Amino acid sequence: MLAVETSGLRRSFGDMHAVAGVDLRIDTGELFGLIGPDGAGKTTLMRLLTGVMSPDSGSVRVFGVDAVARKSDAGMMVGYMPQRFSLYEELTVDENLEFFAKLRSVGREDFTRQRDYLLKFTGLDRFTKRLAGKLSGGMKQKLGLACTLIHQPRLLILDEPTTGVDPVSRREFWQILDSFLHRGMTIFLSTPYMDEADRCTTIALMSDGVLPVVDTPQHIRTLVRGTMLEVVLSDPLRAKQVLARPGPDGTTGAYSRVHILGDRVHIRVDRPDTAYADDVRRILAGSGVPVDRTGFVPATLEDVFVSIIKKEQV
């Protein structure tokens, strides 16, 4: 059964086509990852899926239920944790859970069972009387998740749930998500982290309101031809500028397909030939840009996405 099905989904704000025609089919039990630059339309798409926002046109179905015409029925099956999820800081852990349960009209018995289960599951059972405002960042995140799950949704939609969360809490958060996946939950999440995207059964890349790529991580990695010449150095930005500089005869720079990935640049070349590495070292040395090391690596997910967003020929 399809957990999510959208067709021709659109939503604009004035001239801004935030979601500009999205057709999606997500199976039950999938871990679906949405990635893309700021302003691509990810949050708007998620809001449309949850029914918090209505589309200008197109349809959304959640487990077969029309999320526009039968908003509250569809809404009962969805748990949505927005990007900046707000807990009630002056309420305790327990009171927050109760508040969200009331909001979702969860019956007393269901609430007690689900509350005990979620508290134990998230390791928050020792902190039930603590004010939410006094929890650590990672614990707030887990409480946010517990509040989102209090009405036992079948589809969990998480908007950048781990952005800014420390690495240990991030790992714990993922352990919780994994066990929900094992129980058959469908999870749709956006993330800026490629290692998180890599865990997904399907990844969609969003750019300017559309999804140019929807595929498995394994297949996405094969979308870019050639290989990556990786150059590790202290000033990637300067290296990119130098490499892309047009030649004296006005030709475009020899290396225009340069991506900055943290402390390194990736340069797409057609084959792993050391002549490329020597050439790049020579160009950079000529402009006084020191290089730590070079090597050839396969394209990463990020390389593929950067290439597609920049509309490079892949």
247 binds, among Mg ion, ligand ADP, none (CB under 5 to 8 A by kind): none
35-43, 99-107, 119-127, 298-306 -> range binding ligand ADP (CB under 6 A): 35-43
Per CB under 6 A, the list member of 7, 21, 23, 39 interacting with ligand ADP is 39
How far apart (Å, rounded) are the C-alpha atoms in residues 8 and 1?
20
Q: Which is nearer to Mg ion, 42 or 115 (CB)?
A: 42
Run of H or E residues at 22? strand 16-27
Task: Report the 10 Å Cβ neighbour count for 311.
Answer: 9
Q: What minimum distance in Å lies between the beta carbon of 39 and Mg ion? A: 8
236 binds, among Mg ion, ligand ADP, none (CB under 5 to 8 A by kind): none
Closest-by-Cβ residue to Mg ion is: 43
Contacts of 59 (CB under 8 A, 6+ apart): 5, 6, 7, 8, 9, 66, 68
Closest CA to 155 of 89, 78, 40: 78
Q: Which is nearer to ligand ADP, 5 or 208 (CB)?
A: 208
Q: What minimum distance in Å lies between the beta carbon of 47 and ligand ADP? A: 8
Phi, psi of 264 (to 5 degrees): -145, 165
Q: Does 51 bind ligand ADP (CB under 6 A)?
A: no
Q: Which is nearer to ligand ADP, 161 or 236 (CB)?
A: 161
Q: Do residues 293 and 232 make contact, with C-beta atoms less than 8 angstroms apart?
A: yes
189 binds, among Mg ion, ligand ADP, none (CB under 5 to 8 A by kind): none
Q: Does 44 bind ligand ADP (CB under 6 A)?
A: yes
212 binds, among Mg ion, ligand ADP, none (CB under 5 to 8 A by kind): none
How far apart (Å, rounded) are the C-alpha atoms in residues 13 and 17?
7
Q: Does 18 bind ligand ADP (CB under 6 A)?
A: yes
Q: Between vectors from CA 151 to CA 150 and to CA 157, what angle results, nearest 5°?
A: 85
**Which residues here bind Mg ion, judged by CB under 5 A?**
42-43
